[in-house]
Each structure stands twice: as C-alpha cells, then as structure tokens.
Amino acid sequence: TYTKGDVAKASSAPVLVDIEPPKVSVVLSPEYFSPDGDGEADILTFGITVDRDAGIVDWKLEIFETAIVESSNPQAVSSERLFMQWDGRGAPPARITWNGLSSKRELVESATDYPFRLVVRDSLGNTTTVSGIIAVDVLVIRDGDRLKIKVPSIVFRANHADFLGLSLDIVTRNERVIARIAQILNKFPDYRIRIEGHGNNVGKMLGYPASRIQAEESKELIPLSMGRAELVKSMLVQNGVDVRRLSVEGLGSKEPVVSFLDVENRWKNRRVEFILIKN
C-alpha cells in the first residue's frame, strides 16, 4: 500500500506535435530569363517567402537540366541532371539571384525550360517542397563579329526532318519557340541569317571505323540536318521573316558543342543554330 493512498499518478510536460509543414512561396523575376549579356533580363531572381521562419532549420534550392529526347514514343523518358544548387542552415534568404551558369560554369541553353525545386525543413522534421519551371528565352550570343542563336530544344521526330507523331504539347512548343525566334530575328533587320542544322554521329559515339563514320555523315546526317534547317526556314517565313534574308546549311556532326562520348550532354549537339551576319 502507498502511505498516502492506493492510487499512483504520474505527469509529464506537454508534448508539442506539429504536423503542419512551413508555408513557402517562390516568385521568379523576370518571367523569361535571358542571360546573354545584353543587359536585359540577364539575372534571375528567386523571391522567397516563408510564413513560419522561426522554426526553419535548413533549406535547399536545386535547378535541373532535362535532356531533349527525340522520339515519337509518348512513353520516352528524359534524363535529368542537377545543374545548380544552393543550400543553408536556418531560413532561406528572401532573394537568391542567378546568372544562368551551372556549378560547372555551363550557360543555360536557349529557349529551354529548367525545372527548379526548393525544399524547406522545420525543427520538427516537417518539409515543404515548392517546384516550378524557369523559362529561358532565346539567347543572342555575340561570336566575334557575328551574332549566334543556338537552340537544342526544337524537337524533331527521331531521324526525320518533321514533327510527325510527336505529342501536341511538343509540336505546340516547337511552334512557339520558332515564332519567338522569328520575333528576335526581325529585331536585327540589317543582318542576313544562316540557319544551320547539326546532329550526332552514332559512329563517332560508338567508335566505328572512319569509313563507316563518313558513310553515315554523307548519306544520313548531312541530308537530315539540311532537311531540318529547311523546315525551320519555312516556319520562320510563315512567322514573318523575309525569305531573302535566309539561307540554310546542313553541317551534320562537323561542329559538336560537347564530346560525342559525353552521354549526359551530347543531346546538345543535336540543334539548330542561327548565324546573324551583318550586311
């Protein structure tokens, strides 16, 4: 028996149970990011608001680059890699600015979407994730005495110079990108425009003999890259660019921008370039 009765009681301090994650919002500015050094929209700002910042213990902001896949198969999966990252302890800053370069000093690709993700965690382990898309505008880069627009994000049917069999979303995006390029080109009326098609040579990727590489180049890749440049030319004319300013060239795999052995990035070789030459 207990000296003060037969009932035992125990008590403890109140336990805080908080299952509501932090409230976080992200606003991007400008709407279309254009880090091409012309002084307009060259810096992207993430405006970050955290409603309950007192209990935030850490945060991480990641930007990803998604490989462009050429396929009429709607199930085709694009690979994604981490492009840039910031992180820290406590609450995230109210503003984070970005110049468009990756952690390896690579510039974003023209007319390409970059997904981002902000993850914020509080002291009780609750997390909030905010995801979105960074829309990169058409970039006009000075290259010596020329101006250059490099666009790997126009998606063609694999091994063809058309959009047949592609999803409506992809075709619509292609049309939107080319319409935007036409707008940009018409801002430079004193320039001629050479449209160049570029591609990847499978033989160079896989180490085939030189004769086989050359056969692929002359019989397949140069005609393919030429056909793609011709298609883009016709679409630019439909969008108001004077046909007399335009010429086309199919360069095949002659001028890669990354190594053919770089599995992660060689999709960037498969592109259309617009070379602006002063009259």
Bridge partners, 122 (sequence order): 56
**Mean pLDDT of all residues belonging to the chain:** 91
Residue 271 sits in a domain whose CATH number is: 3.30.1330.60
Asked if 82 and 148 sit in the same domain, the reply is no
Asked if 157 and 259 sit in the same domain, the reply is yes
Q: DSSP characters for 243-279? A: GGGEEEEE-TTSS-SS-TT-TTTGGGGSEEEEEEEE-
Give the list of residues 6+ apart from residue 151 with CB closer than 8 angstroms, or none.
109, 110, 111, 138, 177, 181, 271, 272, 273, 274
Q: Count of alpha carbons within 13 Å of 57, Cβ hemisphere only?
A: 8
Of the residues 112, 136, 160, which one is the last residue of a structural domain?
136
Of the residues 114, 136, 158, which one is the last residue of a structural domain?
136
Asked if 130 and 146 sit in the same domain, the reply is no
Count of domains observed in the chain: 2
Tens digits of per-residue pLDDT, 150-182?
Answer: 999 999 999 999 999 999 999 999 999 999 999
Domain that holds residue 86: 24-136
Residue 31 sits in a domain whose CATH number is: 2.60.40.10
Q: Are strands 141-143 and 146-151 parallel, antiparallel or unpaired?
A: antiparallel
Query: Residue 172 falls within a domain, yes or no?
Result: yes
Element (H, E) at 132: strand 127-136
pLDDT at residue 13, as a whole number: 53
Confidence grade of residue 15 (pLDDT, cut at 50, 70, 90): very low
CA dist 199 and 183 (Å) reads: 25
Query: Residue 222 falls within a domain, yes or no?
Result: yes
Cis omega (within 30 of 0) for bond into 22: no
